Chain A
Amino acid sequence: MEKYFDINYLWTALPQLLPFLWITLFVAALAVIFGSLLGLILAVFKLSKNKFLRFLANSYITVMRCTPSIVLLFLVYYGIPAFADHFLGIYLQDVHTGVFVVITFSLQFAAMMAEVIRSAYLAVDKGQYEAAVSVGLTPFQAYRRIIFPQAIVFALPNFGNGLIAVLQEGALAYTIGFIDIVGKANLIIANNYNTHALEIYIALAVFYWVFSIAIAKFFGKLEKVFSKGQSSLKTS
């Protein structure tokens, strides 16, 4: 009789699984890029004096916080093509599922980043901007050279946490038929008539675990590097 649990089975499954790791990471990276851009816009809205813009950003963030990833994923996956088809007359049914995955997690990441960017911006002392302008920098220069480098130190830990979150939420992409590492794992399991599922799932857990720890460690180091400059500024 075949064993229920056979860890050696992994040596045959891993080579099939590993190439799809890059797809998982690639999608997460795209979501981080687009999400950060949208998050920046939302943060500007949140900080603006215009009541309507603030309301808009706040409602967006509340809605995102209250929506499970899987629900958002399906809303985007079914909603956008239906909307485009009906109102704009554009046919989107053939668009690659990866596009919808990236859209979903960008939308979600943007809500996280809006809060991160806002709190980092507020953490920088107002006097810094005034001082920069008073020595003749233009507002743009002041932001780029004075505010931004300081704000980034405050934002780093939360940004790292957001990165881990978006990588993990991405594990749900398989539900709309996207073949990333989880999707491929489920395909392998289905091909084996549902045997050895546990071994594959444990391998997946280890992948994510390793990457999460690596990201956390990396941002911990990065934070140290950046805040070193800050403390030397204070003492001088």
Chain B
Amino acid sequence: MNSSFINTEFLIDTFFVALSGVPIALLVTAVALAIALPIGFFLALSRINEIPVLNGFTKVYVSFVRGTPLIIQIFVLYSILPLILAGIFERYEIDFPIYEVNPLWYAFVIFSFNTAAILVEVFRSALKTVNAGQLEAAYSVGLTTSQAYRRIIIPQMLVSTMPNLCTATINLIKATSLGYAISLQEITLKAKVAANVGYNYLEAYIDIFIVYLILCITVEYLFKVFEKRLSRYKAVATA
């Protein structure tokens, strides 16, 4: 068919096309994390303290998210959300073009929904590593619950959270590659569209592959640096 194995010119051009999708991928990752972190933390607390309704709900929610493929979650949410919203808007007679919403908003909702459940488990296992006596000690010196958590529990918890949080972040960045299903203009879709013209799919996917590799190795490195700083605090605290 073609004389050379790889179209180098296309490979280099498309690399920058793929790179131009990085801001969207990182934006979705950052927003999803920002929404999922507090939700995940409070649901983890409700699991640990066995708060009646919330505990059961969280159990089912986490089990569903961990038990089903992300792409299926995207399919379900992407078809159910417009239906629900359309129903609400119709009821209150709000004129809103529900089918012209930027897919970015759906991406925020879907990836937050997914990540929050993952983080529940991350925080739950991290909270368990903190000795129960720590909370009692904090109470006994007169701290309120929120003070005890903010000053005593959370700082200790953070150290053991970091590796799992890093994995969750990496998985989230990788997961944004599924944004194609809701036509989100991120790394994968952008490069794929560029490849559609001349059927240079192999080159496009090599570019996408390299971009994710750079992205993930960078994030992993940043987490490692941050973890080192945190554990230094831990060493000071225990000394």
* Chain A residues packing against B (C-beta within 8 Å): 4-5, 62-63, 65-72, 74-75, 78-79, 82-83, 85-87, 164, 168-172, 182, 197-198, 201-202, 204-205, 208-209, 212-213
Contact = CB atoms under 8 A, between A and B. Distances in A.
Interface residues of B, number: 35
A161 to B, nearest CB: 9
Interface of B: 1, 5, 63-64, 66-73, 75-76, 79-80, 83, 170, 174-175, 177-178, 180, 188, 201-202, 205-206, 208-209, 212-213, 215-217
A153 B216 CA distance: 32
A209 B73 CA distance: 11
Contact of A70 (B67, B68, B72, B177): B177
B67 A209 contact: yes
Given A66-B217, A70-B178, A82-B202, A172 B71 contact: yes
B68 A212 contact: yes
B67 A213 contact: yes
Contacts of B206: 75, 79
A69 B176 CA distance: 11
Given A198-B76, A201-B72, A78 B202 contact: yes
A205 B174 CA distance: 21
16 contacts: A4-B83, A66-B170, A66-B216, A67-B174, A75-B205, A79-B205, A82-B5, A85-B1, A168-B68, A168-B69, A171-B71, A198-B76, A198-B80, A204-B72, A209-B64, A212-B67
Nearest to B74: A201
A71 B68 contact: no
Contacts of B201: 74, 78
B29 to A, nearest CB: 13
4 pairs of A and B residues whose beta carbons are closest in the complex: A66-B216, A212-B67, A171-B69, A68-B177
A86 B5 contact: yes
B205 A205 contact: no
Nearest to B207: A71
Query: Which of A72, A74, A82, A87 has the largest number of chain B CB atoms within 10 A?
Result: A74
A63 B212 CA distance: 10
Nearest to B67: A212
Given A67-B209, A71-B208, A197 B75 contact: yes
A71 B205 contact: yes
Given A70-B177, A171-B71, A213-B63, A202 B213 contact: no
Contact of B5 (A62, A65, A83, A201): A83
Contacts of B209: 67, 71-72, 75
Contacts of A168: 68-70
Contacts of B188: 68, 70-71
A153 B80 CA distance: 42
A169 B68 CA distance: 10
Given A68-B174, A75-B206, 4 more contacts: A170-B69, A172-B69, A209-B63, A209-B64
B216 A205 contact: no
Nearest to A216: B67
Contacts of B205: 71, 74-75, 78-79
A80 to B, nearest CB: 10
B219 to A, nearest CB: 9
Contacts of A209: 63-64, 67-68
A201 B212 contact: no
Nearest to A168: B69
Nearest to B202: A78
A51 B147 CA distance: 49
B72 A182 contact: yes
